[in-house]
Amino acid sequence: MGKRLMVMMLVVLTLLVSSELVLPIFMSKIVNQGMMSLTGSSHVSSKLNKNPGFLMLGGSFESIQLLANHAKIDKITVSEMSIALTKVQLNINKLFASQQVELQSVRDIDIIVTLSQEDLAQYLNQTVKGVKNTVVTITTDQVKASSTFAIGGFANVDVGLEGRIVGDGQKIKFVTEKFLINNRATGNIGGSLLTEIPLVDLNKLPFHVGVRDIVMDKGKVSIYLDNRLH
């Protein structure tokens, strides 16, 4: 009887150890695949936390930390998106059946979006009509964009835009404060097209968040989002 009890205890202990070591790796792979589809990212890595680990099988997590590279937010592709979720409940049936990440409940959501100079230049070239060959420079004070702009389809001029990335409700925009033609300050030849250039509509994110802060730095813009009241 004592030997049988010992064997059962060893089996239980082995299962508990496996759940703490193997299960998080297994669950991470499934979550990573689901988040790649959700964010349009080329690569996602995650760290899942739950104690005891076997409770992950019910879709419950103390925290989920994700890092998505080259993620697509609305119409713009960003270099990096860091996501931290706490007190999370996922739809475990959808996760296992089709690798879909669906939040059933979450207490806190914190997201940091990193937008590089190259990301912004590519976006302007692809989405702003008449603009091409854009080069963007980001500093702590402003964003500068130099482009070739087509006027009425028959003439091209060199245009410079200087401004800032700002949050306006659920919208993130590039607001232009200064226009230059051939390096000379002038009016806005593009009209409203170049006055406020929409970058991200947060309503189109898979998470309900708002802008907490936007920080411009050398070569990049960091956009901080969360689900707390603003």
* Same domain, yes or no: 42 and 87: yes
- Residue 10 pLDDT: 60
The answer for residues whose C-beta is within 8 angstroms of residue 13's C-beta and 6 or more apart is none
* Same domain, yes or no: 92 and 172: no
* Same domain, yes or no: 124 and 216: yes
* Same domain, yes or no: 26 and 74: yes
* Same domain, yes or no: 154 and 203: yes
**What range defines the domain where residue 19 resides?**
2-111
- Residue 13 pLDDT: 54
The domain boundary residue, chosen from 50, 79, 111: 111
- Residue 213 pLDDT: 94
- Residue 167 pLDDT: 92
* Same domain, yes or no: 92 and 145: no
- Residue 108 pLDDT: 96
* Same domain, yes or no: 71 and 158: no
> Is 189 in contact with 77 (CB distance < 8 Å)?
no
* Same domain, yes or no: 214 and 121: yes
- Residue 65 pLDDT: 95
The domain boundary residue, chosen from 80, 111, 142: 111
- Residue 149 pLDDT: 80
* Same domain, yes or no: 102 and 15: yes
- Residue 9 pLDDT: 61
* Same domain, yes or no: 62 and 131: no
- Residue 61 pLDDT: 93
The domain boundary residue, chosen from 79, 111, 143: 111
Number of domains observed in the structure of the chain: 2
- Residue 168 pLDDT: 85
Query: Could you list the mean pLDDT of each consecutive 10-residue stretch along the chain, which spans 230 residues?
Result: 61 58 81 89 90 84 94 91 95 90 94 96 89 93 89 76 90 89 64 74 89 94 88
- Residue 73 pLDDT: 87
- Residue 37 pLDDT: 87
The answer for residues whose C-beta is within 8 angstroms of residue 162's C-beta and 6 or more apart is 142, 143, 144, 145, 176, 177, 178, 179, 180
Burial class (CB in 10 A: 0-12, 13-18, 19+), 188: middle
